[in-house]
Structure 1
Amino acid sequence: MSPVVAVAVPEDLRALFFPDGVDVALGGLGELRVVSSADEVALGSAEVLAALAGPADVLVTSWPCASVTGPVLDAAPRLRLIAHTGASVKPYVGLDAFARGVRVTQAGAPMARAVGEQALALTLALLHRVHRFDHALRTGVSWADAKAAAPPRHELAGSPVGVVGASRTGRAYVELVRALGGVVTVADPYLSDAEAAALGVGVADLDTVLRGSRVLALHAPVLPETRRMIGARELALLPDDALLVNTARSALIDGDALLAELRAGRIDAAIDVYDEEPLPVDHPLRSLPNVLLTPHEAGGTVEARVRGGRLVAAEIGRFLAGAPLQHEVTDDQLARLG
């Protein structure tokens, strides 16, 4: 009997991940069950997801989906693989899935270049105070005053850049920053001396990196030991006029402490991730001239989405052929994720 592949990805996202059509991308892998246009708006409902996944051997998920746990698993006794089109699977898979022998894979790797490039773009914008000039001119500040009020600007070449986390996105960012002359030091207890040498970076503890960075870029995963790792004490270690770039996870930073530093005007920041998403329209971050905001879209390039779709198709093919998965998430890994 042909395996059943259920695709819980709304039409707009399917067009990004599978631009040649889901039938072309996944049709050769088994019998497809694709969420209907009527049901896709309710994929956050366990009942709707359970109905779609019921006869499936493989379930392809995306970020509107309900978590594959309890009632969804009960409705899908044949389910053997969850292939997530995004990076973080924590909101979409329960540990009970692993207890039932369901395996999980995800498409985070294809986003690394996109996130690295956006982090670089945000770094350059902060260094050149583009965000401050834009805010000033849009709010009616005079041409001369807009220029006079901006803090000193710097080039990336020769700037000390601290990177927290030598993750896939962190390494992509490092490669780009070093290509433009940035001098990089990484805080990551798992980065070996040999790996650091290959990346062309220095290694130091977090406090040392904070004290010495003109730019601090966060690229760490959320684990018990990294949750709120940047608090008031750590932010105070940053030099005056330092620049903070967060395209990783909001849980790495104490949001109240960051807001206090930004309101004081001592540092500037570019932020793509938030404790509350969507960011409320009245959130104080929206009105600060020293803050550059993007709506959690660092990994959302056309190219990254296409690569993600191809990765998912390849992983499903490997699984059905009995070959090892290349991007598997284990129950131990899931349990450690914040």
Structure 2
Amino acid sequence: MTGSADPAAGPGPGGRPPTVVAVPAALREQLFTPAAWDRLRSVADVTVLEEHTDRDALAAVLPAARILVTAWGTARMDADLLAAAPHLELLAHTGGAVSPYADEEVFARGIRVTQAGAAMARSVAEVALAFTLALLHRVHRFDHALRGGADWDRAAAAPPRHEILGCPVGVIGASRTGRAYIALARALGARVSVHDPLLTEAEAAELGVRKAALADLLATSRIVAVHAPALPETHHLIGARELALLPDGAGLVNTARSWLVDEEALVAAVRTGRIDAALDVYDAEPLPAGHPLRGLPNVLLTPHQAAATVECRQALGDSTVDEIVRYVTGRPLRHTVDRTALARVE
């Protein structure tokens, strides 16, 4: 640990609030540029906790803390840890979903919670677009065939390829990432339909998309990109029945959560060769070495890295620091969440 861990309540040196940054060194360097770190230290008395998964280590540095910064793997703030943090006022998460890091007691105590998920939208949307183009042009099939030793003519054999210009693309979920993906796909000329029960006709018109029922969207889209939130009601939103609605040769893109797609049904569907898929998320992570998805030539796989660009990680850190600066200087926070965020599945 570095910085101040004075257990006395109240402001730190220069009136700066005691702030625990429970983020290990390697990730901290990715999230916080030198300028962002200097900005944080200018408004907060910072204690760094390297052992961010260790509940006892976290409890030891919480007695004076007014602000806690969490990251992937940070021990979850529950009643026991909150008992060690009598002065905590703000939990600032450097990622999106906060349910793994805060429980109901955090909100019951009136602690403000903010998260940086909006900063991930562009990076994940770009990967979803890259997946879309790869599936349309069957790049994954060609690569698999050539690397697998297929002769030239056999490697060149693939289902029909298509351009994105004029392509019917379906988007499930007009989330922040969904909207970023819509903008990118439409910029390249795609005709976009969206299924989202909360999307109004006016919002659809503003986005330049057609609002559609799920069955209609699936049956009329060459590419379907999943961007819905992982909520109890969206579990296995896409199952065997929904996959059967996709046209022959269609592709499914999932950079959101595996929670949304019945993975067993998807494996069965892509095994037939009738549809293709591009995935960044899985039921089991790391994806087991013997998992059937790994051997299918019509599936493009990445290891849950859609939000891991240099720019995205730094944007997450900048967003977190911005929220802390706003809090310390008495300005409204931009990315607060309430207890309903606990329903989201990480």
The CA RMSD measured in Å over matched residues stands at 1.4
Are 2:234 and 1:226 aligned? yes
Alpha-carbon offset, residue 52 of structure 1: 3.3
List alignment gaps of at least 5 residues for structure 1.
none
Identify the match of residue 202 of structure 2 among 194, 209, 225: 194
Identify the match of residue 268 of structure 2 among 260, 280, 287: 260
Structure 1 CA distance, aligned partners of 2:302 and 2:35? 29
Range that drifts further, 210-219 or 132-141: 132-141
Which residue of structure 1 lines up, in the alignment, with residue 33 of structure 2?
19
Aligned residues of 2:67 and 2:90 also touching (Cα < 8 A):
yes
TM-score, normalized by length of structure 1? 0.95
Equivalenced residues, count: 332
Structural mapping, 1:1-338, within 5 Å = 1-2=11-12, 3-20=17-34, 23-36=37-50, 39=51, 43-148=52-157, 150-335=158-343
Alpha-carbon offset, residue 220 of structure 1: 0.5
Structure 2 CA distance, aligned partners of 1:69 and 1:305? 27
Percent of matched pairs sharing the same residue: 57
Structure 1 CA distance, aligned partners of 2:284 and 2:339? 27
Letter in 1 for 2:28: R
Range that drifts further, 165-174 or 292-301: 292-301
Structure 1 CA distance, aligned partners of 2:309 and 2:290? 28
Aligned residues of 1:215 and 1:244 also touching (Cα < 8 A):
yes
List alignment gaps of at least 5 residues for structure 2.
1-10
Structure 1 CA distance, aligned partners of 2:73 and 2:39? 21
Letter in 2 for 1:118: V
Structure 1 CA distance, aligned partners of 2:219 and 2:149? 36
Aligned residues of 1:46 and 1:71 also touching (Cα < 8 A):
no
TM-score, normalized by length of structure 2? 0.93
Aligned residues of 1:14 and 1:21 also touching (Cα < 8 A):
no
Structure 1 CA distance, aligned partners of 2:270 and 2:146? 20
Structure 1 CA distance, aligned partners of 2:37 and 2:248? 55
Range that drifts further, 220-229 or 104-113: 220-229
Alpha-carbon offset, residue 45 of structure 1: 2.8
Structure 1 CA distance, aligned partners of 2:37 and 2:296? 47
Alpha-carbon offset, residue 46 of structure 1: 2.0
Letter in 2 for 1:73: L
Alpha-carbon offset, residue 50 of structure 1: 2.1
Aligned residues of 1:218 and 1:246 also touching (Cα < 8 A):
yes
Structure 1 CA distance, aligned partners of 2:344 and 2:314? 29
Alpha-carbon offset, residue 305 of structure 1: 1.4
